[in-house]
Structure formats: structure tokens, C-alpha cells
Amino acid sequence: MTKLDRERLVHVPGSKSISNRALICAALANSQSVITNLAPGDDTQAMFDSLQTLGVAISRAQDGATINGGLDLESTTVVELQTRLAGTTSRFLTAVASLRNGATTVDGDASLRTRPMSGLHDALRTLGASVVCSGVDGHLPVTVKRGGSWQNQIAIDSTTSSQFTSALMMIAPCFPKGLEIELRGKVVSRGYLDMTVAVMREFGARTEISGNNIWVAPGAYQGANFSVEPDASSASYPSAAVAIAGGSSIIAGLTRNSSQRDVEFLDVLSNMGCQVQQVESGIQIFRDPSVALAGIEVDMSDISDCVPTLAVVAMFANSPTKISGVGFIRTKESNRISDLAGELRKFGAQIVENDDGLTISPAPLHAAKVVTHHDHRLAMAFALVGLKVRDVVIETPEVVSKSWPTYFGDFAKFTKTK
């Protein structure tokens, strides 16, 4: 079978991270916006539904949305928002709620209530907002409303979640004097801050990042026509399928100059023995199946959503792979170190947990049943094992609805031998 025979054009959903940022900026804008290639999935729908509850005139058609903007921040209406399992959505909306005159309660499902929010809650209090947790402090549910005045400077711990900082950045144009943010500690997922800057600028905001300092100028967002990039995190799965099984695929519409840092996952696969190049229709990845995959050592602090994907790819390499820099992913949808390692060991994988990551060594693999721990990224990564191991069973596979509802049907297509 030739390279051309096995080549596939793979379409992945729009970026969930970019979609939620664009929806926030559009809701706060002073005029209408049209967003195309909006991400599917539960997280985006939770954001969509919550903005409607807040009174934003927003309509969705196919993969796009029209947002009239002009969120009424002076409304005294008491609002309750249900963000289900969407961590990013809950954090961004908590920040938006701090701009409102009326009280807003943000809540989610049981597992979301366990995820840490104290960094964001404390920052909003410092800036001047009223933030009251009705359960465990630093967790949902939380009731938020505008305070008497806004501070224009803050220092924030950046070692836990970039989402806290992104949330503050996106509401900062609404502050009378803007906002200066000092990032303290090792910044995790810095690429997501760059993404936030890029989206904010598309909607007219003036913002800069220099080292560990962020500056956001005051001024209204402006409506925009905005197209969401293909999701680079989702692109990791069809790319990994090529790395594991060999052959070739093109990730349609994705470019190397994407605002998403997860596009660098392709460089990781390149270092393991794949060939990656930009072509007219997207990014092409190829591996000759007669050439073995090589293990690597890689700091994934900037591309941490791809850790489960790489852990599975590493199971099929001919030498150990060490993933570092990602200790903070223990508080994602699941514990993406311990839960991931525990499930992959069911296949016979040899995995050692480190303080800040994992080491995966070659070992014979066999059939197993695994659970997803309510984590869409674990479910999608586990499916890749089935490319080389028979009788892989994934319990509660429907968790993929968080970001890629049609994943398993699409997986069957992009892994089918032509």
C-alpha cells in the first residue's frame, strides 16, 4: 500500500478553547458578532446556554453563531448558571459575573465542584468583587457580583491554571482603568494566555504580554466576524493514530502558525520518527510503518492536554518516554497522571508516576476494559490503543460529548485502511 493510498483528509472540530473565548468577547462587545466553525460539544453548549440566561441575544445555526453583544452589566436580576462539567466555562463566567450589578450564582455537576477555583475567587475579591462560596471555599457553587470599585493591578499565582489569568484578562477591558497582571511562579500553559490575547485583539481589545507581565487597556470590545481554528488538541488523536499504525493523514485547515500551542504536539511526534509538513489543505503527518517509533523526553507544560495522547503513543515506542512539567494536570477533569497511569497499566503498560509527569517503557500489551473517570481526553486517547490491541473496552465512552460528540464515528473513518 502506497503513501498516497493511505492518505486521509481528517476534519476535526473547531477549537473549544478559542470558541469559549470568542463567545465571552462577543457577549461583552458593543455590536453584533458572527462566529463560524464554533466548537461542538457540552462545554461550548454550556457557555452558549449560560450567556442566553444572562440575557445575551445569541442564536446558533449549524456550526456558527450570531451574538448581538451588549450584555447588560447594570441588570439587578438574580441569575443562576449551570455549567455542568465545563471547567473553562465556569471560570470564565465567574469572572464575567463579577462585572454584573445583580448577583450571579455559578454551579456545576458534582465532579466540577471538586475542581479548584480559589485562585480565581481570591483574585476577584482582591480586585473588588463580591465572591461568596456556599459550599467549600474556593469551589463551586459561588455567588458573584460587582463591588464598589475596581483595582487596576494584581499579582496572581500562575502555577495552577492559566484559565484564572485568562478569565481576568477577558473582563479587564471593562475596568475603568484597565488591568496590569503580574504572573508569579512558573507559568503553566502559557500558550493559552497567548491565545487569549489573540482572540481579545480580534474583538478590538488592546492587550500585551511581556515576560510575566500582562497589560490590558480599558475600552469596549467591538463586534467581529470571527472564524474558529480547527482544534489542535483534537488533532492530536488522528495524528497519534498515524504515529501508532503508520500511514498518512492531513489535518484539514490546521496551520503551523496556529494560536493554539497544542499544534506543537506534531513536533513531538516528529521527534519520535514521524514526518510532518505544512501542505495547502492543512498539516500532513506520515510514518513509514516499517520504521520504529522512538521514545523521547519532553516537557509538556505548554501542551498538557496532549499528555494522555502521548502516553498512549509511547506504549508503542521502542524505548522509554519521559513526560515532565505537568504535575498540575492532577486537578483536570480527572487526575490525568494517576488515573491515566492506572488505566493504561490494565493493558500491561509499564508506567512510573513522577511528581511532575510519567515515564512509559515498552512492555507487552493485552486486552482490557478501562474507565474514563469522566474525562473526555482519557476516552479519546484510550481508543488509540485499539489500533494495535484487540478487545479494548471503554466504559462510559459518551464523555467525549464534552468536546467531540462524533469522535468514535469519526475515529472509525480516519483509522480505516483504504
- Name, in order, each residue with C-beta under 8 angstroms of 398's C-beta and a sequence gap of 6 or more: none
Point out the residues that are catalytic: 305
What secondary structure does DSSP assign to 128-140, as a single string?
T-EEEESSSTTSS
> CA-CA distance, 139 to 133, in Å (whole number)?
7
- Rounded-to-integer distance, Cα 65 and Cα 325, Å: 37
User: 69: alpha, beta or left, given left = phi > 0 and alpha = psi -120 to 50?
Assistant: left
Helices (H), 316-399: 338-345, 376-385
Question: Rounded distance, CA 355 to CA 161, Å?
Answer: 17
Per DSSP, what are the bridge partners of residue 208?
215
Contact assessment for residue 272 and residue 313, using Cβ atoms and an 8 Å cutoff: yes
CA nearest neighbour of 171 among 203, 140, 141? 203
The strand pair at 297-299 and 321-324 is best described as parallel
Phi, psi of 210, rounded to the nearest 5 degrees: -135, 110
How many Å apart are CA 235 and CA 411, to the nearest integer?
11
Helices marked H in 118-176 — which ranges?
118-127, 162-171
> How far from the centroid of its chain's Cα atoms is residue 406's Cα?
18
Q: Is 71 left (phi over 0), alpha (psi -120 to 50) or beta?
A: beta
Angle (deg, nearest 10), helices 307-314 and 232-245? 0
Helices (H), 301-396: 307-314, 338-345, 376-385
Going from the C-alpha of 34 to that of each of 12, 80, 351, the distances in angstroms are 21, 26, 46
Q: Cell triple for residue 356?
A: 511532575
- d(CA 222, CA 200) in angstroms, rounded, equals 10
